[in-house]
Amino acid sequence: MNCNIAVIKGDGIGPEVVTEAMKVLNAVGKKYGHTFNYEQLLMGGCSIDKHGVPLTDEAVERAKANDAVLLGSIGGNTQTSPWYKLPPELRPEAGLLKIRKELGLFANLRPAYLYEELKDACPLKEEIAEKGFDMMIMRELTGGLYFGERKTEEVDGVMTAVDTLTYNENEIRRIAIKAFDIAMKRRKKVTSVDKANVLDSSRLWRKVVEEVAKDYPEVKYEHMLVDNCAMQLVKDPAQFDVVLTENMFGDILSDEASMITGSIGMLASASLNETKFGMYEPSGGSAPDIAGQNKANPIATILSAAMMLRYTFDLDREADAIEAAVKKVLEEGYRTCDIVSEGTQLVGCDKMGDLVAERV
């Protein structure tokens, strides 16, 4: 198979971790007879430096011309980087919001899985970690507060900021359908997270999810308020299968879920539109404090590449091979600095990529 991939290495540790993911993809291609064609694009701070904007229209069009996007990370230190002295619409993260919107990437999938080998790195109590967990957080990605109208103005002599949270029933229905479809391939349970005791948008969310649930009689579903969900993630994460929620709640809960896996460097993600097209990226940030030091954990990006093979190219066997290779490397005791513990062997970012590629 010929697979055309737009590669956005981005800022910070992005170039390092994406390079290792490409190394693993090339190993897959060699073993299974596929060709991966890469087109390098700029987004984030590196695009600001070269073009004056975080994402050019040309880059968007080039991304659309490929089958999928493999993304590293964007942004820098918000306290010291000159990028954050620019207006909000010209900062690195504006490029990320733009590409999600332009590519129609409304469904964000973030798996959170606790590897047996990393239970010691889990910050939860031993009796909780021993039960393990395997969940998929389904986050709506193109609506809600992040895309609503906003303004800051002086009202009666007082500076006042307004952010608008808006959802319509079609936006809610399409992400709910995705969540129930994925639940059918997993353990057939959906937990829909909202704030229906306070927000009108959440009450509509709950109504539409209940309508969608009627078409999936095999799937058990429940509603949970977001504050309770945040508590349950650290109290009993094993209870969750598919967690369905809106944009801001999903942003927060998926980062919480990542940390109970032992490191945000272990968490992959996929952002899908209504076709097979997707953008695949690690859930962590650009980590400018360790950029260029060969300390970054590339596993999340490597696992994101595996998700790309599974969801865009329907190459389940190849995706399984990458996931098995990651597990094998962890079983053998190799660790990057974020997950290292007594009795394990510390390796750098590039070595971790080599190890996974060798075991594909």
Nearest to 269 by CA among 105, 79, 156, 77: 105
Nearest to 187 by CA among 157, 220, 162: 220
Q: Which of 23, 98, 115, 146 is catalytic?
A: 146
Q: How far apart are CA 352 and CA 356, in angstroms?
A: 6
Q: How far apart are CA 103 and CA 107, in angstroms?
A: 11
Q: Which whole-number Å values give the CA distances from 106 to 16, 67, 169, 171, 312, in the listed order?
A: 27, 17, 14, 8, 15
CB atoms within 10 A of CB 178: 21
Nearest to 205 by CA among 232, 180, 170, 239: 170
Active site residue 146: yes
Q: Which of 64, 188, 189, 195 is catalytic?
A: 195
Active site residue 181: no
Q: Which of 49, 181, 227, 320 is catalytic?
A: 227
Q: What is the 3-state secondary structure (H, E, C) of 32-56?
A: HCCEEEEEEECCCHHHHHHHCCCCC
Active site residue 227: yes
Active site residue 195: yes
Q: Which of 11, 194, 241, 251 is catalytic?
A: 251
User: What's the chain's length in residues?
Assistant: 360
Nearest to 297 by CA among 262, 339, 328: 339
Dihedral sign, Cα of residue 61, residue 25, residue 112, residue 242: positive
Q: Which of 84, 101, 255, 328 is catalytic?
A: 255
* Active site (catalytic) residues: 146, 195, 227, 251, 255
